[in-house]
Structure 1
């Protein structure tokens, strides 16, 4: 799958297309602007005192006395970056054959652009963290060695990996990258406002209609019922929760996606409901920034919002003693819908323009990061999901769950999701720009445009951009 003979032809074409895509979406506050998960700020998840990871060992390298150097590019800024740096320090201290150097490269978009620019000079990383919507590009670039190659070579046991997490990064039965930071969206609600509005704080809304009913009840208290950021990730999640694909060809997994399905029944139903919430004043529109809705929620101004599970600790700690934070599954369009949520976040990719021993060393570091004890440390200090089920047996995770019982909602929602093409997540080479176009359609609907017409325009634009991208892959 390396296709080295094609890379010098294919990569420049792909890079030119993707540079246009990234520049087009650079203004988004949600599209990986600072190393975020699906939701926004890269520093939103980490709070509280740092806890030490358990002692671990690793092996790898050439055995000639000189450690193999692995350069890891990542997009974990702020407090998240400190946790990532601690993981590297612990790995390096655990053995002497491999030395990992972690380098923060800015946002996901910035890091990916730097990787593209480095390919011919080979000055780039051995290992890179790439957001989930960059997966199609990474595969098409021919610049990576799928982790499946290392899994097969040593019979590495993947049975404890969360299937709904690993599933996103699996194509045609092959796992291309290793999940690292993972989240999904949940409903956050103010239990105090629920009580004041005469609502049952232990029975949060589960459907679109129940969201509106609860929001209108909260409005009577003088507060605003809800606010959901205009974020394309949420639209994608509402599709999955209805069990519907976002693009054709099995959500781009049975073949390259060629058509956006944003304007299908699932999209129209979602945007019609969302627009009605705003038009009826059950919800207030605070724009594209998830941080703005989060601030309003923490100020007690709105009763409900959507945000990433990685925001949970920050939201619970931010609410403090002012009000009790409740959490619930992402609402469904209809109670009978059989769907679930898609994971967000990023994964780790091994670059194939590095010597074999360096790639193997990168794999050793990946295995260290995937260990249950490492994942336990990562989870409790960031709020991201552990990628392995065994991490939940760690006493630190058990204690953290007791301190933050709201996180059980996130875990239950992940485990309740059946892996289908809808919940596995769409893949397309122009995903960042597609999110921007979806957000534009939502804004247009809020501004008075018919939801179907707004989605028709966006879907056609996305389809056209997919066609342009696909020509670089299959000229």
Structure 2
């Protein structure tokens, strides 16, 4: 859970290609899951047993009671090496029946004909979920949806109202668009004579998406983030860096290091969670007294959304039971129960409109929960499902060269897009 915002695949597509896991899967029926709901299946989660064991054991017991004759074997894998474990199982024909995946993990499995297409096999469930969440596991260039949406998140953005006031900015009106963000950041840098930066990290692929950059072509065959709007984004970040509005260590800073600078009040804005508010209250009471909560700026009207899903193994021997179980785990009742134990949010329609996600009770956790839930109704997953870690590294390196002034933004982005397209063709 703690790594939810940054956990991604470790180039699973490349591993699948090298191991030749598609051998023997060409005849798999990825479009139907007929049969009786009974028998044994294996359910795999991603680093959840230590904290949520009681919840999942109760969930499984409820399913087995509802469907007599079923048995669910639950396995939980550590976060470290999770993608490698999936690729090894895919190659060896031992992939579990129901697998916890993020969109970037499901993409290579869908291409290898190992992920069941729910649009064809279980279309009756589609309308139970937020449309943007259901679409999150669709793969460019392929028809279908390849995982049930499960839990969602979008990071709230904290800001320091005291620093905003000192810069002559309205502390009750934080920046909503990138234009407002850049203007406010430059003003804060000037007023503080470079002592206060507004941001502590350089833009990622999500920022390009929120800025309004077209990230890939419609067919999903090429990355296009080097278009003029993408170059414009980096040119504006370069100006922030030169003015001291972007922290000097932004190119190498970890989320933890950025968080410390925010707590030290040398950075005015930083993403976080409800757990951070508890930390501010104990370790930085002056910051806590002046904390503001907002959404990350965007030019699209749609915040970014992080998604976890449940994929049904199309090559499994008990697909009917696997579909029933994946739907059971992700139905409205069970997602709401899980949300009450975690800091994540359900992907089912109407859930975010309940009192739990809309009514304040004076506590910090509720304060963040309500603010975050309000943005998820309109949120989308900006990170392309076909973007591997190697591709993200190529983009990150280009961003660093451009913002630091080592290379013109257009040239740097063009090189990154070329490398990402080369890797895409190899996959």
TM surpasses 0.5: yes
**1:21-40 matched pairs, under 5 angstroms:** none
Compared CA separation, residues 374 and 296, structure 1 to 2 (3 A): farther
1:448 counterpart = 2:417: no
Structure 1 equivalent of residue 295 of structure 2: 329
Q: Residue 289 of structure 1 aligns with which residue?
A: 254
Q: Do the aligned partners of residues 384 and 223 (structure 1) sit closer, same or farther apart at CA in structure 2, a change above 3 Å counting?
A: farther
For 1:145-160, list aligned pairs within 5 A.
145-152=116-123, 155-156=124-125, 158-160=126-128
Change (3 A) 1:70 1:81: farther
Which residue does 2:280 correspond to in 1? Answer: 319
- Provide Cα deviations, 1:164-186, integer angstroms capped at 9, x if missing partner: 22122235663210122322355
1:223–1:165 CA distance, 2 compared to 1 (3 A) = farther
- Residue 461 (structure 1) shift: 0.8
**CA distance in 2 between partners of 1:116 and 1:241 (Å):** 31
Partner Cα distance (2:137, 2:322) in 1: 18
> 320, 339, 343: which is aligned to 1:383?
343
Q: Is the 8 A contact 2:116 2:314 kept in 1?
A: yes
* Aligned equivalents of 1:298, 1:379: Cα separation in 2: 28
Residue 213 of structure 2, aligned match among 244, 247, 259: 244
Secondary structure class of the residue paired with 1:189: strand
> Are 2:61 and 1:93 equivalent residues in the alignment?
yes
Cα deviation digits, residues 100-156 of structure 1 (max 9, x gap): 343332337x2232222223543332221222223321210111222334423xx33
Mapped partners of 2:393, 2:301: distance in 1: 24
- Secondary structure of 1:169's aligned partner: coil
Q: CA deviation at 1:216?
A: 4.3
Are residues 1:125 and 2:96 paired? Answer: yes
Deviation for aligned residue 1:266: 2.1
Partner SS for 1:174: coil
Alpha-carbon distance between aligned partners in 2 of 1:360 and 1:182, rounded to the nearest angstrom: 25
Do residues 464 (structure 1) and 426 (structure 2) align? no
Question: Are 2:304 and 2:382, in contact at CA under 8 Å, matched by a contact in 1?
Answer: yes
The SS at the match of 2:206 is: helix
How far apart, CA to CA, are the structure 2 residues paired with 1:466 and 1:120?
A: 20
Q: Are the counterparts in 2 of residues 298 and 319 from structure 1 also a CA contact under 8 Å?
A: yes
In the alignment, does 2:201 pair up with 1:229? yes
- Is there any run of 5+ residues in structure 1 with no aligned partner, and where? 1-11, 20-59, 63-67, 470-475
1:439 matched to 2:396? The reply is yes
Number of aligned residue pairs: 383
1-structure distance, mates of 2:330, 2:13: 34
Displacement of 1:304:
0.8
Could you tell me the TM-score, scaled by structure 2's length? Answer: 0.78
1:63-74, aligned counterparts within 5 Å?
68-74=39-45
When structure 1 is superposed on structure 2, of 444-453 and 401-410 the one drifting more is 401-410
Written as runs of structure 1 = structure 2, the 5 A alignment for 1:181-220 is: 181-219=151-189, 220=191
8 Å contact kept, 2:352–2:377? no
**Residue from 268, 288, 301 that aligns with 2:231:** 268
Q: Which residue of 1 aligns with 2:26?
A: none
Alignment of 1:326-365 (within 5 A): 326-332=292-298, 337-356=299-318, 359-365=319-325
Q: What is the rounded CA distance, in whole Å, between the counterparts of 2:96 and 2:173 in structure 1? A: 48
CA distance in 2, matches of 1:93, 1:186: 35
Deviates more, 1:290-299 or 1:274-283: 290-299
CA distance 1:391–1:402, change in 2 (3 Å):
farther
Q: Is the 8 A contact 1:164 1:343 kept in 2?
A: no
| CA distance, structure 1, for counterparts of residue 133 and residue 241 of structure 2 | 33
Distance 1:454 1:188, change over 3 A: same
